[in-house]
Amino acid sequence: MSVFLRLYHFIWQRKWPFIIGTIPMALAMCLNNLAPFFVKWLTQSVQDGLMEHAFQLVLIFGLILFISNILENIGYYITDKNMVGTSNDIAKAVLTHIHNLDFAYHTNKSSGKLISLMKRGDDAFFAYYDIINRQFLNLTISFAVMFLAFARLRMDYLFFVLLLIAITVFVAYFLIKFNIKRRKAFNDADDDVSGARVDNLVNFDTVKYFANEKFEQSRFAGLLKIWNQRLQAYFFTFRYFDGIVGNLINFALVGIMFLAVRDLQNGQIVLADFLLVTTFSMTLFPKMMQLLFSLRELAKKNTDISTYLDLLDEKITVQDPTAPQKIKNPQGEIVFDEVSFAYENKQTVLKDFSLKIESGEAIALVGFSGAGKTTVAKLLMRMYDPTKGKVLIDGVPINEILKSDLRKMVGVVPQDPLLFNNTVYFNIAYANQKASKEDVLEAAKAAQVDVFIKDLPNGYETVVGERGIKLSGGQRQRLAIARMLLEKPKIIIMDEATSSLDSASEQIIQQAFWNLVRDQKNPRTSIIIAHRLSTIMQADRIVVMNEGSIAEIGTHEELIEKDDGIYQRLWSLQRNGFIGDGESEEN
């Protein structure tokens, strides 16, 4: 029921095409049900020898069929607008909600499953719409006309028909429930197959690196086997349904004809009425069958749509404030006030992390892999909310600012930037849709993108492949930096942003970065996360993290003086070239 109400909530948002289209459709359906009456009237005319009248009846019948056809088409055309529009509205609402969902949701989701679920929901909507708004309307009108005709003729026909309809619907109810259960089980298997497909597409190279094609194929075959079994089990419920319900309806058809023949024999009804009853039964009992098939279809679509609409119920834990504050003229002062945090797996990642970053200050975060550096950045972007403590920007707790405002203020160059399967230009300009072409090219130049653009077949119009797969790691990083330089946010987070670059390009990009950060007129606050310590020596302060807490803090000079400090140890390891080009111990 709730699916029904929710769908009507969407359908009703475009009520006019719905109402205006339904009227001619309902009229056409009424006219379509007059056929048995014409059979009766024709028989009477022929029996009475009124042949001219019979011909007139045929002509009127033809005209009615013609008008009904036109009305029906007009009705379908107008309600189709409502149907397609509503389907788009739902798709948009689902995407918007998915955008609003937490990062935690996105780290747990399976894209393949989601896509198959959305596709099924989308497809099911059209069938569902057709059944509830058209088929049911048609059947209701048909039954109403038939019941009226039977009631006027003989009440026992009506009772017989109503009784059999009640029995059939009662039996069908349980069969449909059984059918839905099997459908749900099949959908789960279908989602798993779809998930495995997407996983194989996304991890194509990993499969190749390990030459694990055979393994993947047999894994897939295993899933298909379950898929197959569940589909067969689902199909089996149809055989049940068609066998039991079909024969109940056949029995009703034969029964009513039997009654009619008996009454004709007894002289209780005339031939014309006998024909009226048999024509109604012949045309309307198949409709009864159709009603039950529609109910069964509806049950199936109901399952598909409800899982689709359930996406809209996914809870958003990182909520926008109800009365948001605006930071008019951001200064970029950041405070982490005794922040603790754990991901869903509950292990504490940050413990009482307190740090004040002054407006315009450049802070470097260093520490072993897994120390919690990226997590600090994620909390500042409100990808998650801390389990304890507060994060403030310019004195305002960030959960009192709209997420979109916050994220416009803070720019991130992530550890492993992913790109849209679109052109290089699109990917850079994505940071600021209002930027002029000159600005985009300037940012690209500063981030050394133009150096490799020359070698690409279509220059800035080259498509970078899914997630940017056609570019090297360093090229992707340069694109991500260009995006940030174009966005020019007040607060900048560079998370290992130049780790894949050669030293020469790194130096040039660092220059562009520091030019932006140390801009005299509008200095930026920045957090630089890096393993390669040579890249952070210019930072105002260096924060050394260890297991989610601050272990040391100070300038490069201060920290290298600190005996037995983590920083000093890291520095001497890197200076002596023990660890790759400055990688941490665990990398």
Ligand X SMILES: Nc1ncnc2c1ncn2[C@@H]1O[C@H](COP(=O)(O)OP(=O)(O)OP(=O)(O)O)[C@@H](O)[C@H]1O
Interacting residues with Mg ion (CB under 5 A)? 374, 415
**Is residue 580 at the binding interface for ligand X, with CB under 6 A as the rule?**
no
Rounded to whole angstroms, the Cα distance separating 371 from 545 reads: 6
Of 400 and 495, the one with the shorter C-beta distance to ligand X is 495
Q: Is 154 left (phi over 0), alpha (psi -120 to 50) or beta?
A: beta
Rounded to whole angstroms, the Cα distance separating 215 from 208 reads: 11
Q: CB under 5 to 8 A by kind: which of Mg ion, ligand X, none does 107 bind?
A: ligand X
Rounded to a whole number, what is the distance in angstroms from the first to the last CA of the chain? 55
Supply the minimum distance, in Å, between the C-beta of residue 342 and ligand X: 8
Q: Are 372 and 349 in contact (CB under 8 A)?
A: yes
Q: Which amino acid is at 217?
A: Q
Rounded to whole angstroms, the Cα distance separating 70 from 63 reads: 11
Q: Which run of H or E residues covers position 41?
A: helix 35-47
Rounded to whole angstroms, the Cα distance separating 496 from 415 reads: 5
Q: Are 385 and 335 in contact (CB under 8 A)?
A: no
DSSP E strand boundaries for 51-177:
none
Supply the minimum distance, in Å, between the C-beta of residue 349 and ligand X: 4
**Is residue 348 at the binding interface for ligand X, with CB under 6 A as the rule?**
no
Residues 6+ apart with CB under 8 A from 375: 341, 349, 350, 548
Q: Hey, which residues between 410 and 429 contact ligand X (CB under 6 A)?
A: 415
Q: Which of 88, 107, 232, 515 binds ligand X (CB under 6 A)?
A: 107
**Is residue 465 at the binding interface for ligand X, with CB under 6 A as the rule?**
no
Give the closest residue to 241 by CA, choosing from 299, 305, 160: 299
Of 348 and 422, the one with the shorter C-beta distance to ligand X is 348
Of 8 and 343, the one with the shorter C-beta distance to ligand X is 343
Supply the minimum distance, in Å, between the C-beta of residue 170 and ligand X: 50
**Is residue 570 at the binding interface for ligand X, with CB under 6 A as the rule?**
no
Q: CB under 5 to 8 A by kind: which of Mg ion, ligand X, none does 505 bind?
A: none
Of 149 and 383, the one with the shorter C-beta distance to Mg ion is 383
Supply the minimum distance, in Å, between the C-beta of residue 495 and ligand X: 7
Q: CB under 5 to 8 A by kind: which of Mg ion, ligand X, none does 345 bind?
A: ligand X
Q: Hey, which residues between 355 and 374 contact ligand X (CB under 6 A)?
A: 367, 369-374
Q: Which run of H or E residues covers position 254?
A: helix 213-265
Of 276 and 371, the one with the shorter C-beta distance to ligand X is 371
Burial of 521 (0-12, 13-18, 19+ CB in 10 A): exposed
Rounded to whole angstroms, the Cα distance separating 506 from 523 reads: 21
Q: CB under 5 to 8 A by kind: which of ligand X, Mg ion, none does 371 bind?
A: ligand X
Q: Hey, which residues between 433 and 452 contact ligand X (CB under 6 A)?
A: none
Q: Which range of residues in 240-248, 266-274, 343-351, 405-413 is near ligand X by CB under 6 A? A: 343-351
Residues found near ligand X in the complex (CB under 6 A): 107, 343, 345, 349, 367, 369-375, 415
